[in-house]
Structure formats: structure tokens, C-alpha cells
Amino acid sequence: MMKSAAHPVTALENRRLTAVRRGWLHGCELYLSRAESLPVRTGVYERELRHRFESMAAAADLFIDIGAGEGFFSSYLVRMTQAEVIAFEADNDAFKVLRQNLGCNASSDEQLTLRGDHHFADGFGVIQLDQEIGSDSRAVMLKIDAEGDELALLQGATRLLDRGDTSVLIRLHGKRNLTACMHLLDEHGFSVEMVSPAWWRPFVPDQSFDQESRWLIAEKHAFEVLPS
């Protein structure tokens, strides 16, 4: 039935609440669009990240999700771990879906802090992560998907990046900021690697996959002391 102008389509009307049974989001309940449904339900959604992401998430006490989108990553953290989640999303429609997805997966409201565009109206670069974290000493996993403001966000996280218990996951759209982000993370003692798309990506239909995007993973590893 065609909707009248007096009843606009909401952010959730074209999504279906789905219990995910495969892939790294197995066990989560998510409101999925038609484009997202097949890759998420079959387990191919961001499959290249699975094992590293699960390992990083298991070690985190606090997950900071900047550019959370519909909240798939944050939903995993609140469903599968005891970590507190702070999720930022500037797009109003995505924020509505984010709120619903996290509500379906969190065991307690105390586990969540959601921040919409009214908190950073001037853009992602205004977020100073060192100020957000303050004196919090918990192990942090930082995920950034900010479409061009990755470097500015990292530059506002000097103290956080200096810590030995911080891990970082960054989605880079194109090659902008790639070298600068890798150099900055290297200066703070991270081992940095780029996640390459799986060989089968060109042959498996997945409307949610972005050919121009790449993930950066940055972790710190303790130096092994050799016996004298």
C-alpha cells in the first residue's frame, strides 16, 4: 500500500528484526534492511575481520564506536561481552536503528551510552577522545568509521593511544589519510596491518560490501624477553 505524505516511512519500517544464526554476529538480534539481510544471515558480512575482531573484543572493558552506523559492532560487544559501549552516530536515521539494535542485545541500559549528532554538530573531528575517556583506566577497544576524519580523531587521542591496553580498528574510505594514520599509530607503538578483502568477494553478491574501503587493525604486543 502506498504511504501518504502524512505518514512518512520511518527508519525501521523497511527493516525486519532477525535472529542471526551464522557468522561472527551469531546470537545477535538485529533490524536488517534487505541489502544487509543476506550477507549478515549467511555470515559473509565483514567476515575478513571475524577472528581478530572477536579477540580484540574479548580483551576490551570499554568499546568506543565512532560512526556506529546501525550498531552491528556495538551489538556484538553488548551481546557477547561485559564491556561498556559508548556509541557515536551522527546520522539521525542510522541513530534510530542503532538505538533499537542495541536495545535488543544489551542486558542492561547501564552497559550503554549513545551519542547522537546533537553532541558533535560540528563533525566527528570535534570529539576529543582523551577528554571522553578522562581518567578511566579500563582496557579500550576503539573503532572508527568516520569517512575522512579518522586522523583528526586519532590526534585527539594521544593519551589513549599511549596506553598498552588500547586496540584500534579503523575503516578507511579510499586512500585518504592511510599513510598518516599508519604513521601516527606506529609512533604510538602499535603493530598495524591492513585487512585485505577475501579472494571470493568479487564472486559473492554482497550489497553491503564497499570495494573502496579497507580496515586497519592496530594492536600492541608485549616484547618477548629472550633468556640471557
The CATH number that applies at residue 175 is 3.40.50.150
Percent of the chain's residues with pLDDT above 70: 87
pLDDT of residue 126: 60
* pTM for this model (two decimals): 0.88
Average pLDDT over the chain, rounded to an integer: 87
Q: Tell me what the mean pLDDT of segment 143-160 comes to.
A: 91
What value does the CA radius of gyration of the chain take, rounded to a whole number of Å? Answer: 18
Comparison of pLDDT for 132 and 106, the residue scoring more: 106
pLDDT of residue 13: 79
Asked if the structure places residue 63 within a domain, the reply is yes
61 pLDDT tier (thresholds 50, 70, 90)? very high
149 pLDDT tier (thresholds 50, 70, 90)? confident
Comparison of pLDDT for 72 and 175, the residue scoring more: 72
Half-sphere exposure of 73 (CA within 13 A, CB side): 30
pLDDT of residue 193: 94
State yes or no: pLDDT of 167 exceeds 60.
yes
Asked if the structure places residue 150 within a domain, the reply is yes
Asked if the structure places residue 109 within a domain, the reply is yes
Amino acid at 54: E
CB 148 within 8 A of CB 177: yes
Question: Domain of 111?
Answer: 48-219
Asked if the structure places residue 178 within a domain, the reply is yes
Asked if the structure places residue 30 within a domain, the reply is no
CB 137 within 8 A of CB 57: no
Asked if the structure places residue 152 within a domain, the reply is yes
117 pLDDT tier (thresholds 50, 70, 90)? low
Three-class SS of residue 159?
Answer: helix
- Counted domains in the chain: 1
Distances (CA, A) of 159 to 29, 88, 94, 183, 219: 35, 20, 30, 16, 15
Asked if the structure places residue 15 within a domain, the reply is no
pLDDT of residue 176: 81
Asked if the structure places residue 62 within a domain, the reply is yes
